[in-house]
Structure formats: structure tokens, C-alpha cells
């Protein structure tokens, strides 16, 4: 290779740094889609489990239909009012693991809810 007159000769004694390639955008999008789908599945499971426990809650705690309806109202209103507030907060401060971390305890609570209280007497 002919160097131009007055041009600097490239140095060969400087170590080179290898930069890892960026992950494939398709794989990242697929991982996000899978995690959102699993969280949506947990949310739907939690909502259907509460409705499925209404007969047991009514019998075990001697509730009438108005009280069972109030449980549904509280459950749905809380979700409807808190969802926009939490959405605004997490839009400003992203927390990608907050959804699965929050859904886990909620699902376990719904699974344990229909069990009658333990009496130690």
C-alpha cells in the first residue's frame, strides 16, 4: 500500500477492543412478548379464581349476595382506579420486573383464599 507523502503511519502496537454484537431485535421482541403473555395469563387466572371462590366464600363466611357483590365491586374498582395511577408512575420510572413480581403474590393469595381458617382450639 502506498502511503501519501506526509501521512501518518498507522500504529500497530495499540491493542484492539472487540465489542460484542447487539442482540437480535427479533429475539428481544419475542422475549418481551412471551413475558407479557405470561403476566396476562397470571392476571386472567387471578381474576377467574376470585369469581370461582364466591360460593365457598359465601358459605364459609355466611355472606349474602350483596356482600359478595361488594367484594366484586371492591376488586374491580381497585383495579380500575389503580391501573392508570400505576401506569403513569411506571411510564416515568420504568420497572420491567414489577408486573411479574406483583402478580406472583396476588396469585398465591387467590389460591390460598378459599381455604377455611385454621382453628387451634
pLDDT tens digits, residue range 52-63?
888 888 888 899
What is the residue range of 50's domain?
45-112
8 within domain boundaries = no
Rounded Cα–Cα distance for residues 50 and 46 (Å): 6
27 inside domain: no
Share of the chain above pLDDT 90, in %: 7
The answer to whether residue 10 is domain-embedded is no
State the Cα torsion 65-66-67-73 to the nearest 10°: 110
Position 59 in a domain: yes
In a domain, 71, yes or no: yes
* pLDDT value, residue 67: 92
DSSP, res 12: S
Q: What is the pTM of this model?
A: 0.48
d(C-alpha 2, C-alpha 4), whole Å: 7
Q: How many domains are there within the chain?
A: 1
- Is the torsion defined by CA of 81, 82, 83, 86 positive or negative? positive
Longest alpha-carbon distance in the chain: 100
Half-sphere exposure for 9 (CA within 13 Å, toward CB): 5
Q: What is the pLDDT of residues 42-101, one digit of tens each?
A: 777 777 777 888 888 888 889 999 999 998 888 888 778 888 888 888 889 888 777 778
Domain annotation covers residue 34: no
Amino acid at each position: 500500500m502506498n502511503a501519501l507523502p506526509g501521512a501518518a503511519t498507522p500504529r500497530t502496537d495499540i491493542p484492539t477492543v472487540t465489542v460484542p454484537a447487539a442482540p437480535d431485535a427479533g429475539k428481544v421482541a419475542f422475549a418481551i412478548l412471551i413475558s407479557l403473555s405470561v403476566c396476562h395469563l397470571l392476571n386472567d387466572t387471578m381474576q377467574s379464581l376470585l369469581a370461582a371462590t364466591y360460593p365457598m366464600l359465601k358459605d364459609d363466611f355466611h355472606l349474602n349476595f350483596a356482600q359478595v357483590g361488594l367484594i366484586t365491586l371492591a376488586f374491580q374498582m381497585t383495579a380500575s382506579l389503580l391501573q392508570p395511577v400505576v401506569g403513569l408512575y411506571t411510564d416515568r420510572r420504568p420497572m420491567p420486573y414489577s408486573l411479574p413480581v406483583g402478580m406472583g403474590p396476588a396469585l398465591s393469595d387467590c389460591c390460598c383464599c378459599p381455604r377455611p381458617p385454621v382453628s387451634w382450639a
